[in-house]
Structure 1
Amino acid sequence: MKLSDTSGEASVFELKGSVLTVMVLYVKETNPDLLYPQLKKKIGPARSFFNNAPILIDLKAVPEGEQLRLDFLVLTTFLRGLGLVPVGVRAAAETVEQRVLDAGLGVLPPATREKHVAPQEEEQVIEPVPDEPVEPEPKPEPAAEPVAEPAPDPKQTPEVTAAPTMVIRQPVRSGQQVVAQEGDLIILASVNAGAEVVASGNIHVYGALRGRAMAGVHGDADARVFCLQCNPELVAVTDAYVVNDSLESRVINHTVMISRGENGLEFDVLGAFEPQRG
């Protein structure tokens, strides 16, 4: 068999490492009678929000014996039925790794960078134990005049660090995803259809919002979405969302502020958008 020499050909691909944002499903119980109904109840109503989103399955909290009872092929099929795209399993026991691979999933090691909050040290209370007979209490001396404590030095007062704000100056094109893990996200251009912008805080789009925007993804119900021209495929604040087909005609292509209300998302029209023509 003659192999062709490709040493002189131009490279047609590259392999690079990348840090991507992906949802993680932390499994705590493998009983199918409990796991699948709860997944359907939680994800089913927000199917459009999770549609085609990659998801990683984490088994750190599941003992090896329970992992052996988990049918990974059934789990991946069920998740795909909810619109998710399972990509791998993290912290799987060695005894189930082959079953994970047979289900078409990757095998990842346990997460090594997790935040832990050290418990506060309890105050130690020392009770006096008398070794000798108690002597009579001495007569009280005249009270000393109060001494004013010095004012705290402002230089030593701890400063409150504000969450950073991410600013994007170029348009977010179809297929791109921009994520602000902390603070607000400001887009000084448009978000095209098929693009996705995600932020822990507020999202400001100083252009047309035609893709998907998700604010307050870490649970900040006070987060807002501001857009100069509102016509998104999907917009969400925490767990409340609206898809394009459900938008009221009064908000489409207008300047809008979107917030989380008691009964879902609220759209406040701030003005009409009319692009300037040169």
Structure 2
Amino acid sequence: MTDVCFQMKGTAVTAVVMDLYNYSSGVFYEQLKQKIDTAPHFFNASPLVLNLSSYDGLLQSEHLSQVVASCRELGLQPMACKAAPEHLLGAIKKLGMACLPASNARTTKIEAEPVAQVESPRATKIITRPIRSGQQVYAEGSDLILMAAVSEGAEVLADGHIHVYGPLRGRALAGVKGDTDARIFCRQMEAELVSIAGYFILNDKLREQCWKQPAQVYLEGESIQVAAL
């Protein structure tokens, strides 16, 4: 009997999403380089999704190729285009990228009488060991409590809140499935990136607020807020 060669399963993968508004060759490259220079460790080899839903005008296939080439030259890994118009589908395939729909949301209308529900307490995942560079911890469907440090280059994710009872030097992403009420709490803020429900800020902005101090991170509208604890 032949041994099983592989297994396929779903998992959480962090990707940078670039909303492309317009394109001018030299301007785009310089602006992207400046952004990457603010957090080179974070952006290096990061998977990238190009969101074309807000593009102003008609994006030409040669310009899309130039965008992808610039991203790859600067260390990003473009893997997909979101909300691409039909005339670009062939070019995207030639670039070795996937095409994603404009929205992953599924809407189903169900007519039913309202029923009072009691919300179940959210589960909690507790990690007592340090999270070292290159490691990723994901608390699916739960909050995440980390009793030790999160090193630079490490990544912690949770569908709910994240609590770090040590220095937070890596990346922390709470509410990864869209919970805008999720928060991040840490004893010492030195993060490369913090994110709530897909909205994020990088190290350069964090250094201006509660740096190396106890802090909490939360979402206010579409803006990430950092406040002292």
What is the TM-score normalised by the length of structure 1?
0.51
CA contact (8 A) 2:210 2:228 kept: no
Distance (Å, rounded) in 1 between the aligned partners of 2:134 and 2:35:
21
What does residue 201 of structure 2 align with? 241
CA shift at 1:193, angstroms? 0.9
What does residue 21 of structure 1 align with? 13
What does residue 187 of structure 2 align with? 228
**In the alignment, residue 21 of structure 1 is paired with which amino acid?**
V
CA contact (8 A) 2:144 2:160 kept: yes
Q: Quick one: which of 122, 144, 157 aligns to 1:198?
A: 157
Shift of the 249–118 alpha-carbon distance from structure 1 to 2, 3 Å rule, reads: closer
Shift of the 81–264 alpha-carbon distance from structure 1 to 2, 3 Å rule, reads: farther
Shift of the 161–203 alpha-carbon distance from structure 1 to 2, 3 Å rule, reads: same
**In the alignment, residue 268 of structure 1 is paired with which amino acid?**
A
CA shift at 1:159, angstroms? 4.1
CA contact (8 A) 2:216 2:228 kept: yes
What does residue 47 of structure 2 align with? 54
Bigger mean CA offset, 163-172 vs 81-90: 81-90
CA shift at 1:241, angstroms? 1.9
Q: Which runs of 5+ in 2 are unaligned?
A: none
Distance (Å, rounded) in 1 between the aligned partners of 2:205 and 2:159:
25
What does residue 116 of structure 1 align with? 106
What does residue 135 of structure 2 align with? 176
Distance (Å, rounded) in 2 between the aligned partners of 1:178 and 1:218:
15
Report the RMSD for the aligned CA atoms in angstroms.
Answer: 4.8
The structure that is strand-richer by fraction is 2
Q: Quick one: which of 161, 164, 168 aligns to 1:209?
A: 168
Shift of the 196–24 alpha-carbon distance from structure 1 to 2, 3 Å rule, reads: closer
Q: Quick one: which of 63, 66, 91 aligns to 1:74?
A: 66
CA shift at 1:86, angstroms? 0.8
Identity %: 30
Distance (Å, rounded) in 1 between the aligned partners of 2:72 and 2:142:
32
CA shift at 1:119, angstroms? 1.8
Shift of the 186–260 alpha-carbon distance from structure 1 to 2, 3 Å rule, reads: same
CA shift at 1:76, angstroms? 1.5
What is the TM-score normalised by the length of structure 2?
0.59
CA shift at 1:215, angstroms? 2.5
Shift of the 120–197 alpha-carbon distance from structure 1 to 2, 3 Å rule, reads: same
Q: Quick one: which of 74, 77, 84 aligns to 1:85?
A: 77
The answer to which structure, 1 or 2, has the higher relative contact order (CA under 8 A, 6+ apart) is 2
Shift of the 230–88 alpha-carbon distance from structure 1 to 2, 3 Å rule, reads: closer
Q: Which runs of 5+ in 1 are unaligned?
A: 1-13, 123-155, 270-278
CA shift at 1:203, angstroms? 0.8
* Count of aligned pairs between the two proteins: 202
CA shift at 1:209, angstroms? 1.2
- C-alpha offsets along residues 56-99 of structure 1, whole Å, 9 cap, x if unaligned? 5699x9xxxx99x6445234225447874213569999x966x5
Bigger mean CA offset, 243-252 vs 43-52: 43-52
